[in-house]
Structure 1
Amino acid sequence: MNELLSNPSTAVSKTPVARAPEAAAHFTAKLAFETDCADVWYAMNHQQPDFVLVDVRMETLFATGHLPGAINIPTRKLIPARLAEYSADTLFVVYCAGPHCNGSTKAALKLAQLGRPVKEMIGGVTGWLDEGFELARV
């Protein structure tokens, strides 16, 4: 065993690290629930997106700047009638303002409860801008 791991001396290593198979299962499961700004940007700019990108913020915030290619469906409007135009297997990728906001988590939960495939784009608008990507305006 690695000598550093057998004698933990920092807050980082004090809690035992997961074994590789457990870590692989955890991170595989995590990626089933989320995606990131760079992957969304690449898909929107270099591939045929196989998802619908949804900004779940209020209409006024969407109008001031949103991810290019996104549609706006505020969380409160994620209802079966609004989603009826999309096939049942449509993957929705939701985002909100950023890591300080749980709007996309609430929207992802609502979509999942409606039986819809969903991933949350971590970072939201803040992450998008941090990556150096531009916003579209209405």
Structure 2
Amino acid sequence: MSSSMSLNMKRKYKTALKIFGFFAISVLLIIIYKNENNTGGEHLNRNFSDRITCEEYYYILDSKIPHILIDVRSEDSFKNGSLPNAINIPKEELPNNVEKINDLLIKKAQETNSRNVPLYLVCGSGYLSGSSVPLLKRYGIKSKDIIGGLAAWKSKIDPDFPLVY
């Protein structure tokens, strides 16, 4: 009789494990789905067409290709060091400056007789600028962030750059 009870307990245990496993996998899939569709996860910007490397930006700068660069760090960080011709608009102020950004792009296009002027975003590490790309996209402004931000710039382009996050 104890072996039949033991067999019955094993079946219940296996059934419980299957139910638990199904539940755990379901929860995991829900978490993954929410993270991929969460508008707060903009820093996970993985669309590489919305990004450039610091080497690519260096080429743009060195070749004097018309563009706009917005540094999305705080005003204090910006004052302590920034890339040439960067305009400081902190990330939290971007929504209030959509008109200004559009005006800058139009003015630069007129000055340079260009049809489209690219907009690049930079910050200390790439986190703020990466999350700013989809933010601006919501307002109809196409932009690209510099992967790794000023830390990558310091590491790969200019070791003397005064990095201030």
Q: TM-score, normalised by structure 1?
A: 0.66
**In the alignment, which residue of structure 2 is the partner of 1:123?**
148
Contact 1:90–1:117 at 8 Å: present in 2 too?
Answer: no
Q: Which runs of 4+ in 1 moved over 4 A?
A: none
> Amino acid of the residue matched to residue 53 of structure 1?
L
Deviation by residue 1:54-80 (Cα, 9 ceiling, x = unmatched): 110001000101112211111122232
Give yes or no for the alignment of 1:51 onto 2:78.
no
- In 2: Cα distance, 1:33 partner to 1:51 partner: 15
**In the alignment, which residue of structure 2 is the partner of 1:69?**
85
* Structure 1 gap segments, 5+ residues each: 1-28
Q: TM-score, normalised by structure 2?
A: 0.56
Q: 1:103 aligns with which of 113, 128, 132?
A: 128
Give me the identity figure in percent.
Answer: 26
What does residue range 1-138 of structure 1 map to in structure 2 within 5 Å? 30-45=47-62, 47-78=63-94, 79-85=97-103, 86-87=105-106, 89-99=116-126, 102-133=127-158, 134-135=160-161
**CA shift at 1:125, angstroms?**
0.8
